[in-house]
Amino acid sequence: MSTAPTATGDASADGPVPPPRASVPTDHVEVDAAGWPTGVPRAEPAVPVADVEQVPVRWDPAERRARASQSFWTAVVGVPAIFSVLRLGVEAGGELQTTLLLVANVGPVNLLAGFLTTAARLLSTGLVAVFALGAVLAVSVDRLPPGTLRRPLFARWADLTPAWVVVASFLLALLTWPLLYLPLLLPAFAAAFQLRPDRLHEWVLPRLSAIAALLAGYGWLMLPTLRDAVEQGSERLVLVLIVVPPLLALFIAGPLPGMVIRPLASLTEVAVLAMLVWAALPVISTPVLPLTVTTVGAENGPTEDVRGHVVTTDDVNMVILQERGGVRYVPVDLVRAQVLCPTEEELPRHRLRIHDFHIEDSLLEGMGRRVRPVHRIDAACRIPH
Amino acid sequence: MNVFSSQSRLRSVATTLAVALTLTLAAAAGCDSRKEPDLPTVQEKMRESHIYGQSKLRIGVATNEPLMGDLRNGQHVGFDVEIGRYIAASLGYEGEQQLEFVSAATEDRIPYLQGGTVDLVVSSFSMTEERKKLVSFAGPYFVTTQEVLVPVRLKDKIRTLEDLRDPAYKVCTTGGSTTEGELEKRQVKALVVKDVWDCVAGIRAGRYDAVSSDETILAGFLATYPKEFEIVDLPFGTSELLGIGVPIGDPALRDLVAYFLQKSYQQGRDGQASPWLTAYNRTLGPWLRAEKSQPQPLEVPKLVDFDDKAPRR
């Protein structure tokens, strides 16, 4: 195919051999920039020629972004779905028939919601770690030894991610992390946005006083807790976790020396992956259904306590997945009482509070406890079954 | 220029250190979050105690001390019984099928605990050094004083300890009780019987003239015969700490009972309706001369429980 003119109207009148295009008198026929006479229809190819000829050497940014967004949503929907199904298998005790019973009775929305409540913490931890490390590596890349071709993975991810996603991850972490670990968000935030103290004010004195004021506010918030931790003696880690991170936040922004970038990048990639796998295991094994103790027995007869998760209840039976394994079909008429029980994993490990918020509660949980302040564990949960 | 570059080097070293420390702290935090709690938990103590796995909890109570431990129409009632019910329910034993009250006379309390006839004794059991060698105590759950109950006809005649020493008056008390020792110490000659009930019946029959025992027990008889008796406030000067008796070989159970008493005490201090106060108001409250509140239990272990995260205020 060619874009050169083939037959033109008036030109044939000049002689048997068509003269070169340049010689066509312009006063007779008007031609466009490409030398195509105006008003003559062009034959357009079905497929744009340029695209066919340039077979995908490189994606253009828009397409790249579209693909990234596609994979992002695939991950957002796919990962919880896969995890949830895995959890059902674990919850059923590895029994195929029990897994099928659960699949038949646990709705996808319940499953997803259940997954999100247990995995939000893990998710936000992963994102915060990637963004903070990515930003630190990204500002350091110009110090990489010459000859390094690829930027570290986390740096590329951090560059690709819009700022609002980073902020949203930090917000999610703020709401879902236990209060004890929240101070760690300070250096992570300073790193992710490369906030240096000199951004506070250009003069030294106001800058120092601003830092002092911020630290004083933090101190006021934490001082009673620190005092309790000192009194309890064995809470050294808590002390370090509360005191050190705000100080680290002052120094964390800035480029790293060239020699540590590579090892740090590789090491943290492996560490974050290992952390995700390690933390995902308990998420998979966290029960999908709430734990209950059901008192079963005929009227005036002896009773029995069944400890397990209620899968479903219909007109005839209550189906209970027992804690020790196995499914029990209990006739509804025999159910005398039922109580909700906590699991031992929910037991607190510290006895410290930050202004009456338990340090192992997240902000969300702490607020929830204020809405329903009294929680009494039913004694039926205590005895073994 | 040189200064500038050395400053920048210093900065990058600081940054490296900060990054490394943050990562270390994050790792430590991660490990900490997966650690088993090192504080003793209620659940752990439950597993250590001898009642773990037992289908029934047996509590020794009195059956002849009105207001404290009494048997009315086959039902155990009284302050001690209510406290026993609260402790049993906290331990996971509720209802007729899981909780059995065993009648224990005053002198049976220690042998029953030693012999494993009962798991706990809640029966006006005074915590004394002597008894602590034989059984453990959780408590006190009540502080009482020693008083004397006299028939109305003698209320003006028996007013002092000196009157009690008068051989003309026959003073009655129970064997194996703290009162017996206390009277002996003050040279009051007392006739010893098995139950306070025997003393009261004896006074009504004219065999005795006064009975000495804990104020709580005497208040029970006053409640039974409000027109026939009166409590005389004598300066014995000793207070009795009533505790819950636990077998001496089961410190875990003692800790649990003390923990649950403390829980009730804490609820009362926070101005909530505590199980103790409910039991008190339903039984003893109206019959005691002075308003009482739950005493702080002693030697309460710090146990971790599920509701530790609940707001305190």
State yes or no: pLDDT of B1 exceeds 50.
Answer: no
Is residue B33, in this structure, part of any structural domain at all?
Answer: no
Is residue B255, in this structure, part of any structural domain at all?
Answer: yes
Distance between A69 CA and the closest CA of chain B, angstroms: 30
Number of H helices, E strands in chain B: 11, 12
Query: Is the CB of B91 inside 8 Å of chain A's CB atoms?
Result: yes
Q: How far apart are CA B280 and CA B263, in angstroms?
A: 16
pLDDT average, residue stretch B252-259: 89
Across the interface, whether the CB atoms of A380 and B42 are under 8 A apart is answered: no
State yes or no: pLDDT of A353 exceeds 50.
Answer: yes
**pLDDT for A123-177, tens place per residue?**
888 889 989 988 888 888 777 766 666 777 888 888 888 889 899 999 999 999 9
User: Nearest-5° angle of CA A31, CA A35, CA A37?
Assistant: 40
Number of C-beta neighbours around residue A80 at 10 A: 19
Pairing of strands B64-65, B69-72: antiparallel
Clarify whether residues A122 and A174 are in a common domain.
yes
Contact A331, A321 (CB under 8 A): no
Is residue A104, in this structure, part of any structural domain at all?
Answer: yes
Contact B189, B259 (CB under 8 A): no
Clarify whether residues B100 and B222 are in a common domain.
no
CATH assignment at residue B203: 3.40.190.10
Q: What are the distances in angstroms from CA A373 to CA A370, A376, A377, B312, B313?
A: 5, 10, 13, 8, 9
Q: How far apart are CA B313 and CA A356, in angstroms?
A: 7
Q: Of all residues in chain B, what percent carry a pLDDT higher than 70? A: 96
Closest CB to A351: pick one of B12, B16, B304. B304
Clarify whether residues A318 and A174 are in a common domain.
no
pLDDT at A185: 92
Clarify whether residues B119 and B206 are in a common domain.
no
Q: How far apart are CA A38 and CA B49, in angstroms?
A: 102
Q: How far apart are CA B198 and CA B206, in angstroms?
A: 12
Category of B74 on φ-ψ map: left (φ > 0), alpha (ψ -120 to 50) or beta: left
Across the interface, whether the CB atoms of B43 and A356 are under 8 A apart is answered: no
**Top-confidence residue, A14 or A308:** A308
Question: Which 259-288 residues of chain A touch chain B by CB within 8 A?
Answer: 260, 264, 268, 271, 275, 278-279, 282
CATH assignment at residue A371: 2.30.30
Task: Give me the domain span that covers residue B96.
Answer: 42-142+241-291
Q: How far apart are CA A331 and CA A329, in angstroms?
A: 6
Of residues B63, B65, B60, B86, the one with CA closest to residue B76: B63
Secondary structure (DSSP) of B136-148: EEEEEEEEEEEEE
Query: Is the CB of A233 inside 8 Å of chain B's CB atoms?
Result: no
- Joined together, the tokens standing for residue A169 give 């991850």
- Joined together, the tokens standing for residue B106 give 């005053």
Contact B117, B102 (CB under 8 A): yes
pLDDT at B309: 81
**pLDDT for A280-321, tens place per residue?**
887 887 777 888 988 888 887 777 888 898 888 888 999 999
Q: How far apart are CA B168 and CA B148, in angstroms?
A: 16
Across the interface, whether the CB atoms of A347 and B305 are under 8 A apart is answered: yes
Give kind and range of the element (H or E) at residue B24. Answer: helix B2-33
Largest Cα separation within chain B, whole Å, is 112
Clarify whether residues A281 and A309 are in a common domain.
no
Q: How far apart are CA A295 and CA B198, in angstroms?
A: 44
ipTM associated with this complex: 0.73
**pLDDT for A184-243, tens place per residue?**
999 999 988 888 877 777 788 888 888 899 899 999 988 988 888 888 877 888 889 889
**pLDDT for A238-279, tens place per residue?**
889 889 999 888 888 888 887 888 888 888 889 888 988 888
Clarify whether residues B62 and B137 are in a common domain.
yes
Q: How far apart are CA A369 and CA A357, in angstroms?
A: 9
Clarify whether residues A274 and A297 are in a common domain.
no
State yes or no: pLDDT of B233 exceeds 60.
Answer: yes
Is residue B309, in this structure, part of any structural domain at all?
Answer: no
Across the interface, whether the CB atoms of A187 and B22 are under 8 A apart is answered: yes
Q: What are phi and psi of A136, to 5 degrees?
A: -60, -45
pLDDT at B50: 87
pLDDT at A167: 93
Secondary structure (DSSP) of B116-163: TS-SEEEEEEE--HHHHTTEEEEEEEEEEEEEEEEEGGGTTT--SHHH
Which of A76-80, A133-137, A172-176, B120-124 is least confident? Answer: A76-80
Task: Give me the domain span that covers residue A359.
Answer: 291-381
Is residue A2, in this structure, part of any structural domain at all?
Answer: no
Is residue A74, in this structure, part of any structural domain at all?
Answer: no
pLDDT at B131: 83
Give the type of residue at B78: G
Give the type of residue at B235: P
State yes or no: pLDDT of B192 exceeds 70.
Answer: yes
Of residues A364, A383, A380, A366, the one with CA closest to residue A120: A364
Chain A to chain B, count of Cβ pairs less than 8 Å apart? 139
For residues A266-290, one letter each, b for 16 or more C-beta atoms within 10 angstroms of the residue's C-beta and e for the rest, the string is eebeebbeebbeebbeebbebbbbe
Structural domains of chain B, count? 2
Q: How far apart are CA B270 and CA B274, in angstroms?
A: 9
Clarify whether residues A304 and A334 are in a common domain.
yes
Clarify whether residues B256 and B131 are in a common domain.
yes
Across the interface, whether the CB atoms of B29 and A188 are under 8 A apart is answered: no
pLDDT average, residue stretch B8-18: 84
Distance between A380 CA and the closest CA of chain B, angstroms: 5
Clarify whether residues A266 and A320 are in a common domain.
no
Of residues B154, B193, B201, B197, the one with CA closest to residue B174: B193
Contact B121, B113 (CB under 8 A): yes
Is residue A38, in this structure, part of any structural domain at all?
Answer: no
pLDDT at A49: 46
Which of A108-117, B239-248, B251-260 is least confident? Answer: A108-117
Q: Judge if the upstream peptide bond of residue B140 is cis by omega within 30 degrees of 0.
A: yes
- Joined together, the tokens standing for residue A78 give 């796919």
Q: How far apart are CA A195 and CA A139, in angstroms?
A: 12
Contact B39, B304 (CB under 8 A): yes
Which residues does A351 contact at the CB level (< 8 Å), separation at least 6?
A232, B39, B302, B304, B308
Clarify whether residues A127 and A186 are in a common domain.
yes
Give the confidence band of A51 by pLDDT, cuts at 50, 70, 90: very low
**pLDDT for B259-304, tens place per residue?**
988 888 888 887 777 888 888 888 877 777 777 778 888 888 888 8
DSSP state of B230: E
Clarify whether residues A109 and A154 are in a common domain.
yes
